[in-house]
Amino acid sequence: MLSLFVDDGLIIGKDEKRIYRLLKEISKEFQITYSEKVQDKLTYLGMEIKVDKDGIFVNQPRYTEKILRRMKLEQCNPASTPIEQGMITKKTDFKNDEALPAKNNYREAIGSLLYLATIS
């Protein structure tokens, strides 16, 4: 099976020799570079794809790390929820209740995370 998306492609098959023959034929007409499967993982469009007996798993660690660096969040600790479960706040507790400035990284971060979740 051959999949193409703009300038990125993916070839999947059972016979490795036939795949390399196809790559050789394609390289006669087009300038191509390719990477091989490493530790049962393929890379396509920046996504790591792993296929095993349990299914197909897709993740994007490089894009995720790029988002964290751009937002300066590399050193943040993960949390399962943004606030403690059952926490109740009162209006008097809000200290930063003014509108966000027009240029705010929050919107960019949310957009990047939505893209990451949709693509992966």
80-90 tens-digit pLDDT: 766 666 766 66
Residue 21, exposed/middle/buried by CB under 10 A (0-12, 13-18, 19+)?
Answer: exposed
Q: Report d(CA 110, CA 108) in Å as an integer.
A: 6
9-47 tens-digit pLDDT: 888 888 889 988 998 999 999 888 877 666 667 776 678
Q: Indicate if the pLDDT at residue 94 is higher than 80.
A: no
Check residue 58 and give its pLDDT: 86
